[in-house]
Structure 1
Amino acid sequence: MEQFNLWIGDIVTIFGTFSFAVSGAFAAMQKRLDAFGVLIVAFVTAVGGGTLRDLLLGITPVFWLKNANYSLLIIITAIVAMVFWKRIKTLKITLFLFDSLGLGFFTVVGLQKGLAYDLSPGICVALGTVTGCFGGITRDILLNNIPLIFRKEIYATACIIGGLVYLLLSALGINEALVKFIAVAVVFAIRIVAVKYKLSLPRIY
């Protein structure tokens, strides 16, 4: 069972890397960057959150330096995105969907990493939020956009709720693989519902 859970964890990381690489590539293409620019933005988006997470935990070399397969996955994903982007009618919607998926996957990955280091539940949720959000923040800064986390859209809040759901279900003894799936689905669903119905946190202005 432990090996199965480790395998599921690897799958979650792979899907998170893929999702954020796609979102980074499409965001770069919206800005009409050249092929090298698209690759760089896709790479930074995919590894940004995990890199900050590992540095905060004192894990060096960071995860993508230890395993070159992540870099290869990002490069292939970005190239495929560039080849097929003309067949996708709305880059904005595709970017949003993959960004939301990546947010969910990496929130779970970051939270689990915190649990593996015996950190407190609150810190684990914060670590999951950092892992989920920082790649997107870096992407938006590179593209001269205001990061989504700082706008009125519900973004980091979705990570926090997803993290809390993960901890609650784990405490109830539910199968870990199912808990991961539910937590990712919660983050993704919150993003979809929030954008569809224009839900946002209160504004002070």
Structure 2
Amino acid sequence: MPVDLSVADIPYSTVLETVGVFVGAMSGALAAVRKQFDVFGILVLGWAAGLGGGLLRDVLIGAVPPVGISDWRLILTAVLGALAMYFFHPRLERARRFIVVLDAGALALFTVVGAAKGLEYGTTLIAAVLVGVISGAGGGMLRDLLTGEVPVVLHDRQLYAIPALLGAVAVVVLWDHGLLTTASEVLVVLAIFALRVLALRFHLRAPGPWRGRSGPGQGWST
């Protein structure tokens, strides 16, 4: 029998989600700074990157009102993250590698929280997986779209959505077998984070287009 799961049961979820929103907002604001946006554009990009994934998640599962436009604490966090990048971007841009690592943590947390919230709202198992991936990767996708870029998650073959997908599937499988506990949730978060960081460290990429089995350049492009 699946357990009765509440997102509030995830340990430290409020603190970790707040950190994730802050880091996501910083990444959005950094993209806006590089595009020479004005201060309003920087704040909008910070909000989109920090809260966009959660907003899409809540719209899909019917959580009203979505936290991205209703939770003043998370909205303030996104604004503060964007302002931090606005005022200190020369120094913070040099620390981009550290921000990317923190973003991996945000990806892991938002994926697990998103899949869990989908299950809490009674979605199907497949829908919960999709909601988890969208929650984890949606903010970055909105950031790239608003800056006129093809989302990195779609074209640069980075292992970004794949760790989120595997993590969301793990959450759903554990829930379906009645094994989703605080400890297993934390393990899934750590697994997603580790896979993303290892992919960054060793430049692991998803396979490119299939070129067939005959002739030069056969197999997947690299």
TM-score with structure 1 setting the length:
0.85
What secondary structure is seen at the aligned counterpart in 2 of 1:88? helix
Q: What CA deviation, in whole Å up to 9, does each residue of 1:107-158 have, x standing for no partner?
A: 1121111110233333212110011111111100111222111121111111
Which amino acid is the alignment partner of residue 108 of structure 2? G
Structure 1 ranges of 4+ moved more than 6 A: none
Aligned pairs for 1:143-154 (under 5 A) are 143-151=147-155, 152-154=157-159
> Does 1:136 pair with 2:140?
yes
8 Å CA contact retained: 1:12, 1:109 = no
Instruction: Provide the C-alpha distance between the structure 2 equivalents of 1:129 and 1:100, rounded to a whole number of angstroms.
Output: 13
Q: 1:196 aligns with which of 193, 201, 210?
A: 201
8 Å CA contact retained: 2:7, 2:120 = no
8 Å CA contact retained: 1:154, 1:201 = yes
Q: 2:191 aligns with which of 183, 186, 192?
A: 186
Identity of aligned residues (%): 28
> Does 1:97 pair with 2:81?
no
8 Å CA contact retained: 1:162, 1:183 = yes
8 Å CA contact retained: 1:30, 1:91 = no
8 Å CA contact retained: 2:10, 2:185 = no
Could you tell me which runs of 5 or more consecutive residues in structure 1 were left unpaired when the two chains were aligned.
none
> Does 1:82 pair with 2:79?
no
Name 2:170's counterpart in structure 1: 165
The number of aligned residues is 203
What secondary structure is seen at the aligned counterpart in 1 of 2:12? helix
Offset of 1:175 from its aligned partner?
Answer: 4.2
Which amino acid is the alignment partner of residue 108 of structure 1? V
8 Å CA contact retained: 2:20, 2:103 = no
Which one has the largest radius of gyration?
2
* Counterparts in 2 of 1:17 and 1:35: CA distance versus 1, 3 Å: same
8 Å CA contact retained: 1:26, 1:95 = no
> Does 1:118 pair with 2:115?
no
* Counterparts in 2 of 1:203 and 1:14: CA distance versus 1, 3 Å: same
Instruction: Provide the C-alpha distance between the structure 2 equivalents of 1:37 and 1:138, rounded to a whole number of angstroms.
Output: 13
For the aligned residue pairs, the C-alpha RMSD in angstroms reads 2.5
